[in-house]
Amino acid sequence: MKKSFIVIAVIVVIVVALFGWVKGTYNGMVEQEENVSKAWSQVENVYQRRADLIPNLVNTVKGYAAHEKETLEGVLAARAKATQMTVNLDDLSEENIKKYQAAQGDLQQAMGRLLMLTENYPDLKANENFRDLQAQLEGTENRITVERQKFNEAAKEYNTNIRKFPNNIFAGMFGFEKKGYFEAQEGAEKAPEVKF
């Protein structure tokens, strides 16, 4: 009788310890996945901030450079495309993040063309609204860089955790999948050419 009680007690202790370990591992993965989701939401937030600034900037430029219709329409079209592109939190794959990044990159290029166009309009560059919007846009671009870096760090921590043994077994059982990263865009390794 005493032996069977000891055996049952040992089995109960092992089961409780095993349950605690699995629970802790699972909850850790959930917490890291939520950190990735939070970081992704912040990335989308700063991209949305940039998208919200663009119509004001375009309208300010339009007042000075109305005949530059093609450039202005290009910026608005790129903005529309970038704001329509979304990635589901459950599918933050490398491929989907690249598509999202490409849409945002097209908008950034269109904005670059718009800002280069303004060089031809000294009155516009002196306009206080334009300068304020340009400063806000530059600040937003910096925020985008910071939030993308934070997202990549959260994704790396999560991906590393779900790939470690024995976490990879639980990750597979419970459906935790690898998250993608933001990467440098094609051509980023080449320095821009400056001509005078």
Domain coordinates in residue numbering, the chain:
46-172
Residue carrying the six token digits 């992704």: 40
CATH of 46-172, one of 2.40.30.110, 1.20.1440.20, 1.10.3720.10, 3.30.1330.40: 1.20.1440.20
Give the closest residue to 178 by CA, choosing from 160, 166, 165.
Answer: 160
What proportion of the chain, given as a percentage, has pLDDT over 70? Answer: 93
Report the alpha-carbon distance of residue 156 to residue 32 in Å, rounded: 10
| Token code pair at residue 196 | 């005078």
Predicted structure pTM score = 0.75
**Position with higher pLDDT, 93 vs 11:** 11
Tell me what pLDDT residue 154 has.
94
**Position with higher pLDDT, 164 vs 183:** 164
How would residue 191 be classed by pLDDT, with cut points 50, 70 and 90? very low
Asked whether 42 and 118 are in contact (CB, 8 A), the reply is no
Average pLDDT value for residue range 98-118 = 86
Report the alpha-carbon distance of residue 120 to residue 158 in Å, rounded: 48
Asked whether 109 and 90 are in contact (CB, 8 A), the reply is no
Give the closest residue to 35 by CA, choosing from 150, 154, 171.
Answer: 154
- For the ranges 81-90, 119-128, 168-177, the one whose mean pLDDT is highest: 168-177
Burial bucket for residue 185 (CB in 10 Å: 0-12, 13-18, 19+): middle
Is the confidence at residue 46, as pLDDT, over 60?
yes
Average pLDDT value for residue range 36-46 = 92
CA distances from 62 to 50, 58, 68, 72, 155 (A): 18, 6, 8, 7, 41
